[in-house]
Structure 1
Amino acid sequence: MDSAPARVSHEPAGEAQQTITVGIADDNAVVRMGIAGLLATTPDIEVVGEVGDGAAAIALVRSRRPTVMLLDVRMPRQDGVSAAAEIAASTNVLMLTYSESSEVVTAAVRAGAKGYLVHGHFTEVELVNAVRMAARGTGTFSAAALSALSDPRPAAQVMAERFGLSEREAEVMTMIAAGTTNAGIASALFISEKTVKNHINRIFAKLHVSHRSQAISLWLTGR
């Protein structure tokens, strides 16, 4: 893996240490299986449930009360960030995802996530240690996530530069991502709805998407 997470402890689990119960939420069954298989080899960690979306993750936390809940960001029915906001008071949330978007990382931390690991930027040992640290309420962040958090530019500016959006287009896209209707955008920016639609057509072309939901997902997660 190319970058080691910050603040990873490599201390072994003590013999008297309580079992850490873990829930896994990821819409990719292969990823869930791999994580569960890895954690199953660790004596002090027990996987108590696996689910494929954010809504099911919330239900799992309420029914099984895992010590740590691993959450992907992009999942059907409910995304990992909004799920984190609902369960962070009940469990220690550790984001485990592919998204390096500064906006997503920041939103996850604000939602109460204890840590944020980016696939491809940690080893198996580091994942196990991150789970142990999350159980103690200590955060672990992949270098990629820390970089996103430390980027001094607003997330919208980063995304606008990535896709070549103009300042106005970035403004419109930010409002779309916030759930604002075309009429609401027109009113807020003092432009006509026809102009808003023209902006949206250009934005979709630059993002290479055809639907509003696709544009929002790409804008918020970078994928």
Structure 2
Amino acid sequence: MAALSVLIADGNPVVRAGLAALLGAAGGFEITAEAADGREALSLTRRHAPDVVLLDVRMPGVDGISALPHLVRLAPVLMLTYSREAEIIRETLLLGAGGYLVHGEFTADDLVRAVRDVREGRAHFTPTAAGALLAELRASSQPQRTVAQSPERLHNSVLFGLSSREAEIMDLIASGMSNQQIAAACFISEKTVKNHINRIFAKLHSTTRSEAIARWLGTARPGVTGRG
């Protein structure tokens, strides 16, 4: 049986070395490349065409969530990270990840099975990720209060390419909420809020809160940038 080729993308070189050692000791795997951030992961995946990509969430530069939708077009992706937030787990799965492992919750044998499962299209999760999915399913089965979007908000969401969660957070930003207040309102961590805001600002071509609010509310004029 040919060895499975694996690309490891993690910002921590010690973690990359550890994962490479675990798979190397198991046999049947070839580590074709290692990447320190999402941009490098995408470049190396295009170059080496690995069978599976192991991807961390939080990395310097381009993070795992930003790189994920591009990587899944090239190879199956297994998230392998310390990030335990249900919101992040849900988002990565919606973006196409084939599984989600949280460090500290799997053995070397678990890792080997997970890589092989994801390669074959079988989902694999450690307890935290599985619990988050179960909670999501239970929540979705409860009656939900439908909140109608205004035509302006719907138009802006489509215009800027924001997801429903990003549009919700942008509305909270426009209302004057701090990151801490947004995290509490959305039941997510401040780190997750910051990740969302980084992607929102990129989509709105803004570098400050005031500039993003101006664009979102339709008050920005071409060539005029906000300050704040």
Which residue matches 1:13?
A: none
Which residue matches 1:71?
A: 55
TM-score of the pair, normalised by structure 1: 0.66
Offset from partner CA, 1:180-212 (integer Å, 9 cap, x none):
695xx14xxxxxxxxx1xx32863998xxxxx9
The answer as to whether partners of 2:169 and 2:182 remain within 8 angstroms in 1 is: no
Deviation at 1:214, TM superposition (A): 8.3
Which residue matches 1:126?
A: 110
The answer as to whether partners of 2:53 and 2:75 remain within 8 angstroms in 1 is: yes
Q: 1:52 aligns with which of 13, 36, 42?
A: 36
The answer as to whether partners of 2:7 and 2:50 remain within 8 angstroms in 1 is: yes
Q: 1:140 aligns with which of 105, 108, 124?
A: 124
TM-score of the pair, normalised by structure 2: 0.65
Identity, in percent, stands at: 37
Deviation at 1:215, TM superposition (A): 5.1
Aligned length: 168
Q: 1:105 aligns with which of 61, 79, 89?
A: 89
User: CA 1:29–1:90 in structure 2 vs 1: closer, same or farther (change >3 Å)?
Assistant: same
Q: 1:80 aligns with which of 47, 64, 69?
A: 64
The one-letter code matched in structure 2 to 1:64 is H
**5+ unaligned residues in a row in structure 1: which ranges?**
1-16, 155-173, 187-195, 207-211
Aligned residue runs from structure 1 range 147-166, under 5 A: 147-151=131-135, 152-153=138-139
Q: Provide runs of 4+ in structure 1 moved above 6 Å.
A: none
Offset from partner CA, 1:44-89 (integer Å, 9 cap, x none):
1000011111111111110100000000001112121221111112
The answer as to whether partners of 2:172 and 2:182 remain within 8 angstroms in 1 is: no
SS of the residue aligned with 2:124?
coil
**Cα RMSD over matched residues?**
3.0
**In structure 2, C-alpha distance between the alignment counterparts of 1:214 and 1:109, rounded to whole Å:** 15
**5+ unaligned residues in a row in structure 2: which ranges?**
141-164, 185-189, 199-228
The one-letter code matched in structure 2 to 1:48 is T
Which residue matches 2:194?
A: 216
